[in-house]
């Protein structure tokens, strides 16, 4: 799947599964940090939508000390209103 839908074209991709989650990560070099990660829930007869508290936990775990996240607008025709704030 990573070859058809890479997170970053030309990067090294690894996929992990952990406690009901699938995590894809892209690396520019084998011993380097991930430059992009994709989180999704594995289907198990439950709602696979990521809840707000789960998103906050993911963001907190991936925020280096002294930095913050900022919401940005993006264009996605599949969303009502066509944007996320």
The string of DSSP codes covering 12-38 is EEEEEEETTEEEEEEESSTTS-EEEEE
Three-state secondary-structure class, residue 45: coil
Q: How many domains does the chain have?
A: 1
Position 64 scores a pLDDT of 86
Position 43 scores a pLDDT of 85
**Sheet bearing 21-27, strands edge to edge:** 12-18, 21-27, 34-41
Over the stretch 26-49, which tens digit does the pLDDT of each residue have? Answer: 999 988 999 999 999 998 777 788
Question: Is residue 6 assigned to a domain?
Answer: no
Question: Is residue 43 assigned to a domain?
Answer: yes
What value does the mean pLDDT take over residues 8-36?
Answer: 92
Position 26 scores a pLDDT of 94
pTM of the model: 0.69
Question: Is residue 2 assigned to a domain?
Answer: no
| Percent of the chain scoring above 90 in pLDDT | 36
Rounded CA separation 84/73 (Å): 6
């Amino acid at each position: 799947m990573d070859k058809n839908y890479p997170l970053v074209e030309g990067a090294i991709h690894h996929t992990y599964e952990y406690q009901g989650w699938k995590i894809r990560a892209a690396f520019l070099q084998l011993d380097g940090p991930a430059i992009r990660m994709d989180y999704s829930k594995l289907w198990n007869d439950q709602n696979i939508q990521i809840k707000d508290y789960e998103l906050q936990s993911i963001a907190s775990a991936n925020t280096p000390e002294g930095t913050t996240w900022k919401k940005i607008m993006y264009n996605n025709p599949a969303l009502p209103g066509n944007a996320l704030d």
